[in-house]
Structure 1
Amino acid sequence: MCNSPSANLEPYNPEIERTYKHRRRKQKRRSQSVGTASMADIRNDQEREQRECIEVHRDNQDPPPPQLDLDENKAIMEFGIPDLNKLTSAITPPIINAGHFEIKSFMIQMLNAARQFGGLPSEDPHLHLKTFLEVCDSFVIPVIPPDAIRIKLFPFSLRDKACTWLNNLPANSITTWNDLGSKFLLKLFPPTKNAQLRGEITNFQQKPGESTYDAWDRFKDILRKCPQHGLVNWVQIEEFYKGLDTQTQSIVDASSRGSLLMKSYEEAYNLLERMGMNSHQWQTDRATLSRTVARIHELDAMIALTAQVSTLTNMVKGLTLPSMQPS
């Protein structure tokens, strides 16, 4: 007759030989001290041994296999549809203690009017953040923290590649506005771009025909695009001065009654601002006319050169044609 399934069986033990020797030693010690040991101690030892065997059996068991979705009533095509509950944004929704908060349509319209950021190399991420913060600071909502408004509205200020970048981030990986801004700049303003703009600052050159105002304005624009340039104020003035042509340097030095580099940073900066503004306000058509005349002279020289080449070509043809005629 088969044993009953409910019989008390010892759990499987992969190290049964060691367990057997261990029990033999304990039984031998108990037999030696049976005269002094009480029955309660022997019973406690037996219970302890049983617990140890159960723990060994539990540790050697394989983990249970993963449970599969065996919903037989579910259509096969439905298994390929993603779970909508798992389509979570990368931005963790901020905790707002106010009873009601709603993004108004005029907020989105103002962000669109300020131009969305697409992530193109020609776009400036620092300028986008500056403009975005200016728009968000115009929305003053009681009880709502400014960072909560910023983190809620920032996705609406992106498009194309920048929007794709945000959607590809892990779900709920962004919890604060500072975290979002840092990751945005790290992605769209990498160290290579920072190094490139630093090179444009240290190797700045005034363009031919460029006025002092345009050169100074272009230099400041490069500084704004690269706020992490690491150049102190006096070095910035020095780099700009070195990039000017000889004529402009002479004009700047004359305006500073000596040398621009003999001024302090504040004095030199204010002088360049005044010179640039004066050059811009009193700019006449004379400079434009001179550039036009120069272009006309260049065009006339090119036409004359073309005519000379054409004449030489005709002369060569005239010399070669008689030699080619049969005698």
Structure 2
Amino acid sequence: MQGTIQTRGTNSSEPLLNDPEIERTKRRNNSNKRRRRNRANPVGQPTTHIPEVFVYDIPKFTMEGEGGVHNDNQNRRRTIGDAFTYTGPGEFSSIVRPTMNDRLAEMKLALLQLISSHQFSGLDHEDPHTHLYIFYELCGSIRVSGADEEALFMRLFPFSLNGKAKAWLHSQPNQSLTTWRDVETKFLASFFPPSKNTEARTAIATFAQGADEPLCEAWERYKSLLRRCPNHGFEVELQVQTFCNGLQPQTKMILDASFGGSVMFRTDEEAITIIESMASTDFRSQHDRSSSHKRGVLELSTQDVVLAQNKIVSQ
């Protein structure tokens, strides 16, 4: 078969020969390709999908400078050995150490020695409230502002603990105590639990003067019971009445005479003033009088009682 093919760019009409054998060879090759493809994928058979292969992300290391190694991954592969090695922060204190000014940073050694000499060990007979009172008094020897005062408390408080109390402080989560309020609240919650609070309230309500206990010592002991339980909940009037009811009959009789017949005739402020005056007089008498006198009996003359009454009336 012959044909005429025109090419662009020429005006020649010279016929080009088309070889039939080449055309047949081309068609045969295309047919063979289709047959091979059909045999590989028969009609009606589902196409097989090759599953994805998941490759674990292996840390890539690049060199930085001479002999330097840099890990591109933020989270390094954790080995079993890492689990037994501490790699946390460098702060091992449960109390967050606040920033202090230069003057407080150079605290005198004498203050640390004073605080260390009044340590709280957490024993059953120790009172955490009394420990805090003493701690505040010692820290009060340094004049500081409000913010610096809290920093001072948090810096020095660990030095005031020992034994069981020190172990308690170390058992708190690392850097968990961020304010002095946190320290004080958790300290009292641990060493003055509700059971001790109940015992302290009971001791106040059932107060009784000892058989040989002077008025001055009974009054101081009663006030110490109140201090040991600041949240006792007793009103001032009830505190005075409870103390008077717990006195020995002879002591109560002399005290009632100072009240003008009964404590019920006085206000709480007047009653406390009279008790303080009588206790002060009794304290002096315990040291001034002969040791042959029986200890524990309130030895006040009638003149002492009259003088105490006149002092209250004149106020």
- TM-score band w.r.t. shorter chain: 0.5 to 0.7
- Residues in 2 aligned to 1:271 and 1:247: alpha-carbon distance in whole angstroms: 17
SS at match of 1:282: helix
Q: Which residue of 2 aligns with 1:229?
A: 232
Counting only pairs closer than 5 Å after superposition, residues 50-89 of structure 1 correspond to structure 2 as 67-69=77-79, 80=84, 82-83=86-87, 85=89, 88-89=92-93
Give TM-score scaled by structure 2 length: 0.64
Query: 1:118 Cα deviation (Å)?
Result: 0.7
- Residues in 2 aligned to 1:93 and 1:210: alpha-carbon distance in whole angstroms: 47
Distance 1:138 1:265, change over 3 A: same
Query: 1:261 Cα deviation (Å)?
Result: 2.1
Distance 1:122 1:253, change over 3 A: same
Aligned with residue 116 of structure 2, among 106, 112, 129: 112
Query: 1:79 Cα deviation (Å)?
Result: 7.5
- Contact between 1:96 and 1:144, CA under 8 Å: does it hold in 2? no
Counting only pairs closer than 5 Å after superposition, residues 145-164 of structure 1 correspond to structure 2 as 145-164=148-167
- Residues in 2 aligned to 1:110 and 1:172: alpha-carbon distance in whole angstroms: 26
Q: Which residue of 2 aligns with 1:44?
A: none
- 2:214 pairs with 1:211: yes
Query: 1:139 Cα deviation (Å)?
Result: 2.2
Query: 1:234 Cα deviation (Å)?
Result: 0.2
Please give the per-residue CA displacement for 1:213-246, whole angstroms capped at 9, x wherever unaligned: 1111111111111111010100000100111122
- 2:205 pairs with 1:195: no
Instruction: Name the stretch that deviates more: 139-148 or 171-180.
Output: 139-148
Task: Give % identity.
Answer: 36
- Contact between 1:98 and 1:144, CA under 8 Å: does it hold in 2? no
User: Based on CA coordinates, which of the two structures has the bigger radius of gyration?
Assistant: 2
Distance 1:202 1:144, change over 3 A: closer
SS at match of 2:218: helix
SS at match of 2:243: helix
Give 1 or 2: higher helix fraction.
Answer: 1
Q: Which residue of 2 aligns with 1:247?
A: 250
Query: 1:107 Cα deviation (Å)?
Result: 2.9
Q: Which residue of 2 aligns with 1:94?
A: 98
- Contact between 1:97 and 1:144, CA under 8 Å: does it hold in 2? no
The RMSD of aligned alpha carbons is 3.1
Distance 1:121 1:149, change over 3 A: same
Q: Which residue of 2 aligns with 1:263?
A: 266
Aligned residues: 226
Query: 1:142 Cα deviation (Å)?
Result: 7.7
- Residues in 1 aligned to 2:50 and 2:270: alpha-carbon distance in whole angstroms: 96
Please give the per-residue CA displacement for 1:101-159, whole angstroms capped at 9, x wherever unaligned: 3454333112124x111111111211111111122222236897110111011101111
- 2:181 pairs with 1:178: yes
- Residues in 1 aligned to 2:193 and 2:138: alpha-carbon distance in whole angstroms: 25
Query: 1:177 Cα deviation (Å)?
Result: 0.5
- Contact between 1:97 and 1:143, CA under 8 Å: does it hold in 2? no
Aligned-partner residue type, residue 243 of structure 2: F
Please give the per-residue CA displacement for 1:175-233, whole angstroms capped at 9, x wherever unaligned: 00111011111111111111101101110111102111111111111111111101010
Distance 1:249 1:162, change over 3 A: same
- Contact between 1:119 and 1:162, CA under 8 Å: does it hold in 2? yes
- Contact between 1:213 and 1:276, CA under 8 Å: does it hold in 2? yes
